[in-house]
Amino acid sequence: MIQGSFRLVFFLRFYFVVSLKKCIFALGMVRLKHIWVWLNRINHSRGFGIQSPTDYAFVRYVINEHWPYYHYDELGKGDDWLTRKLGRLYFRIANWRQPKVMVSHDYQDYLHAGCDQAEIKEDADKADLIVMKMDGDYRTRMERIYQQVSDDSILIVEGIWKDMDFWREVAGDERSRVTFDLYYCGLVMFDKKRHKMNYIINF
């Protein structure tokens, strides 16, 4: 009986240690990947090399703004680091653009904090800011989005790293005028008066 209990305790301890090591390894790999992405894009930091004053200001003071905004302390409690990182970016974009209509299934607390006057919907005929995740039939969804946007609209495509061929198609489409590849998400602007530009940003 004692020997059986000892074996059970030993097994439970062994299982706990192995599971803990697996968790630490997984977290370590995620962190290493994040560092690897950042290092590969180090030459694209904080707007370096961007000639357009408008695009430089957007990268420098919206995408890569590091000063804490109001509401930061209230947002993202319990979120993982990537959800919080993206949520804060979406907050800054909403705060900068001040859209009237936003379309998003997620991040609504971040978006509403960025522009509390905006109406947030799950779908709309026209929208000023759209968040699209790369899940389901996103190619069909993208064709629908081209009908929803105007010159002043911004599209956020979350998870472009999952299908970079699709992202390159979006960036190469003539309807997409200015795009920003942030790896974790992509940003698309549709102003027809703008010269077509595609940027890679270290985010």
Query: Which one-letter amino acid corresponds to residue 52?
Result: S
Question: What is the pLDDT at residue 3?
Answer: 54
Structure-block tokens of residue 83: 């959800």
Rounded to an integer, what distance in angstroms lies between the CA atom of residue 166 and that of residue 49?
A: 25
Please provide the CATH number assigned to the domain covering 50-200.
Answer: 3.40.50.150
Per DSSP bridges, beta strands 129-133 and 101-103 are parallel
Question: How many angstroms separate the CA atoms of 116 and 119, rounded?
Answer: 8
- pLDDT per position as a tens digit, 129-153: 999 999 999 999 999 999 999 999 9
171 neighbors 198 (Cβ within 8 angstroms):
yes
Beta pairing, strands 185-189 & 154-158: antiparallel
Task: Write the single-letter amino acid at 60.
Answer: R
The pLDDT confidence band at residue 76, using thresholds 50, 70 and 90, is: confident
Closest CA to 173 of 185, 153, 188, 163: 188
pLDDT digits (tens, 9 = 90+) for 11-44: 444 444 444 345 444 546 656 666 776 677 766 6
Q: pTM (2 decimals)?
A: 0.80
pLDDT value of residue 10: 45
b/e burial code for range 11-26 (CB count within 10 A of at least 16 → b): eeeeeeeeeeeeeeee
Query: How many residues are given for the chain?
Result: 203
pLDDT per position as a tens digit, 89-124: 999 999 999 999 999 999 999 999 999 999 999 999
Kindly report the number of other CB atoms within 10 A of residue 39's CB atom.
9
Q: What is the pLDDT of residue 129?
A: 98
Among all chains, which residue has been given the structure tokens 């994040």? 34
What pLDDT, on the 0 to 100 scale, is given for residue 14?
44
